[in-house]
Structure 1
Amino acid sequence: MKNIDPSRSFNDLPLLPPPAEKVETFLILKQESKKAVALAELKGLARTLPNQGILINDIVLKEAQASSEVENINTTHDKLYQALAAKSMSVGPAIKEVLRYREALLYGFEEIKTKGFLNTNGIARIQAILEENEAGIRQLPGTSLKNDLTGETIYTSLDDK
């Protein structure tokens, strides 16, 4: 494996999309077929629900919680559902963060459902929901992610050349 210098951007990534022969393998196509059957079953079962929004909301909430855990933002399903049910309840920062993630996911879902795609303005709005500000998309290139404790550079998006 090639050594990666985290203080320099890594621009040796292969171009997208990858060649079809690398992604359209027998195993992948077999799994895709299984996925299509499972989605068809889910679609049929979802029609029996009086309110399909309940299922969508649950999936989105679980995704928001799981994704937030990656960033060490932890809460329980019970606390999240309590916060959703009691709008006036004061909640902690972890719950607020997960609920903002949920709101951003639902916004993106509605954008794609309505327009058929997600444009730059939609992405900026999702960012605004997540960060609770209107900072918008960075105008200057380059990002450097650093370890808060050590100051060590973990990743750099662009070289300063």
Structure 2
Amino acid sequence: MSQLFVVCIDDERAVLDSVIHDLQALNEAFIVEACESVAEAKEVIADNLADGNKLALVLADHIMPDELGVEYLITLNHEEQTIKSKKILLTGQAGLQETIEAINRGGLSYYLAKPWKPEQLQKVVIEKLTDYVIENDENPLQYAQHLDSKRIFEAVAQNRLNFD
């Protein structure tokens, strides 16, 4: 059975550990992967996709040594298996031009500045994952306990009305 997965990318291990810690409640319903580079993220995503899993969300820093986060989000937004994933840029270093580029070409779902507050990160990630499951999952109810249950129930009810 395929699972939804989340990939967090940041070249600073302490920052990455903080993100993973802030998102630990998602581990019950999602595979949450931590990657210290875009190259590592490419491998993790390829392996998960090969296993039949679906990329629901990518949370990426911008300034990284091998490839910029914005460039990678743009790449993901042009690939069939990852175009629907939600993309969050978590950075303190992206300038206006890079952010505009991420929005216009990268399908950026949200921009979150460093430093962040844990509850702010959790809220944004839950909102974007809720968007993803409503838009792409045949059975979003299975995520209601972990995401925005009110929105999921409303979407399911609306879909039933549309079929009647």
TM-score tier by shorter-chain length is under 0.3
- TM-score when scaled to structure 2? 0.26
Greater RCO (CA < 8 Å, at least 6 residues apart): 1
- TM-score when scaled to structure 1? 0.26
